[in-house]
Amino acid sequence: MGGLGCAVRVSVGVSGARQLDILLASHASAGVGPLFRSPVSPQRWLKSAYESVPIVLMTAANSVTIVIVDDHPVVRDGLNAMLSAEPDLQVVGEAANGNDAVALVKTLRPSVVLMDLLLPDIGGAEVIKIVCGSFSDINFIVLTTLAGDEEIYRALEAGARGYLFKDMARKELIQAIRVVHRGQRYIPASVGSAIAENLPRMDLSSREIEVLQLVAAGLRNKEIAYRINVSEATVNAHVKHVLQKLNASDRTHAVTIALKRGIIRL
């Protein structure tokens, strides 16, 4: 096939559909003549080249395996359908609660776990903490409606490598999965802004959070003291510290701030 320089590139998706790029170039010297100098027609030559090129299929061995954890079946089904359309992503399991998620993830050892935080038994942050305590190679991406900075902190401190809100675009979710799979973190600007709004961070003690939770439930200081078996003066001191740390003007304001930031839940 004189006068022909040829490069053939074949790519094959999981669906089996082939795409063939044929790059043909004649020699640089002038007067080469026709591009093909062969008794074999260009069509037959291309068909022969097409069939002889090695084809690499995307397999389970080189795909990103994913487990979806969410207590809403519609959400799980939607995510499964969305991710399964990507040739390099493979959903290998689903869980509807925290305990099932821990067992499933430890068994399947997926590359990435999409994790909701609001689950009917144990919270998503606790699931992340349990699994990451045993398997450092499993990457968690939180996918939730919770936007409070304390909820974000808890998830990241537990071991999450990404944090996304459920109203994000499909393209961003796919990108986040691939980025986290490569060993990087994925924290969008909206999440970073939620954290930055309350810096420097003033941690409440576990007892202060407990008292604040009871304040949110409508209990007076005397009732709280009886409930947690301390003096009323001690409860007064806890409430005072909470107001100072949250920069709140009164008990109601403190509860409002704590709910917004995810420090407590009703």
**69-103 pLDDT, tens per residue?**
999 999 999 999 999 999 999 999 999 999 999 99
Cα Dmax for the chain: 103
* CA of residue 114 relative to chain centroid, distance: 5
* CA of residue 172 relative to chain centroid, distance: 10
Task: Report which residue type is found at 157.
Answer: E
Stretch (H or E) spanning 22: strand 18-25
Residue ranges and CATH numbers for the domains of the chain are 5-52 (no CATH), 60-196 (3.40.50.2300), 206-261 (1.10.10.10)
Beta 5-12 vs 18-25: how paired, if at all?
Answer: antiparallel
Q: What is the pLDDT of residue 41?
A: 53
Instruction: State yes or no: pLDDT of 215 exceeds 60.
Output: yes
20, 10 Cβ separation under 8 angstroms: yes
58, 106 Cβ separation under 8 angstroms: no
Distance separating the N- and C-terminal Cα atoms of the chain: 78
Averaged pLDDT, 146-172:
94
Instruction: State yes or no: pLDDT of 190 exceeds 70.
Output: yes
Query: Distance between CA atoms of 265 and 255, rounded to whole angstroms?
Result: 10
Task: Report which residue type is found at 86.
Answer: E
- Residues in contact with 192: Cβ distance below 8 Å, sequence separation at least 6, in sequence order: none
Beta 64-69 vs 89-95: how paired, if at all?
Answer: parallel
Q: Which two tokens stand for residue 192?
A: 């970073």
The mean pLDDT of the chain is 82
Q: Report pTM.
A: 0.69
**Using 50, 70 and 90 to split pLDDT, how confident is the model at 199?**
confident
- Residues in contact with 61: Cβ distance below 8 Å, sequence separation at least 6, in sequence order: none
Instruction: State yes or no: pLDDT of 34 exceeds 50.
Output: no
- Cβ neighbourhood burial of 168 (10 Å; 0-12, 13-18, 19+): middle
159, 149 Cβ separation under 8 angstroms: no
